[in-house]
Amino acid sequence: NAGVTQTPKFRVLKTGQSMTLLCAQDMNHEYMYWYRQDPGMGLRLIHYSVGEGTTAKGEVPDGYNVSRLKKQNFLLGLESAAPSQTSVYFCASCTNPNEQFFGPGTRLTVL
């Protein structure tokens, strides 16, 4: 049981490049979330999903898109990366929204 895994762990992009972050969970959770964490700050919710095929916007959705084609995977896309998107990205999943399980994070730098 791997829990919540995130791919890749680190990435450096140039401004304007695109990429996709993958979050996978093997706990059969319905809910999945993408957060970002900037230095010295708490996490902010980007997008979330309450089930396969559904997604919704969180607190800071601009510049990101998501897809949940399979229950176990939640993808976060950056179509045209900007330096302001330099951050650590965390994925979480759960059955009960009160108890979220977080992945180890992806550290993204946009030059």
Partner 1 sequence: DAKTTQPNSMESNEEEPVHLPCNHSTISGTDYIHWYRQLPSQGPEYVIHGLTSNVNNRMASLAIAEDRKSSTLILHRATLRDAAVYYCILGYGGSQGNLIFGKGTKLSVKP
Site residues (vs partner 1, CB under 8 A): 4, 31, 33, 35, 40-45, 48, 50, 56, 58-59, 90, 92, 94, 97-105
Measured from the CB atom, the residue of 22 and 101 that comes closer to partner 1 is 101
**Which residues, 6+ apart, have CB-to-CB distance to 59 below 8 Å?**
44, 45, 46
Identify the residue whose tokens are 């302001």.
Answer: 84
Measured from the CB atom, the residue of 69 and 99 that comes closer to partner 1 is 99
**Which residues, 6+ apart, have CB-to-CB distance to 24 below 8 Å?**
2, 4, 5, 6, 7, 72, 73
Closest approach of partner 1 to the CB of residue 42, in Å: 3
The secondary structure of residue 84, as a DSSP letter, is G
Closest approach of partner 1 to the CB of residue 80, in Å: 26
Measured from the CB atom, the residue of 4 and 75 that comes closer to partner 1 is 4
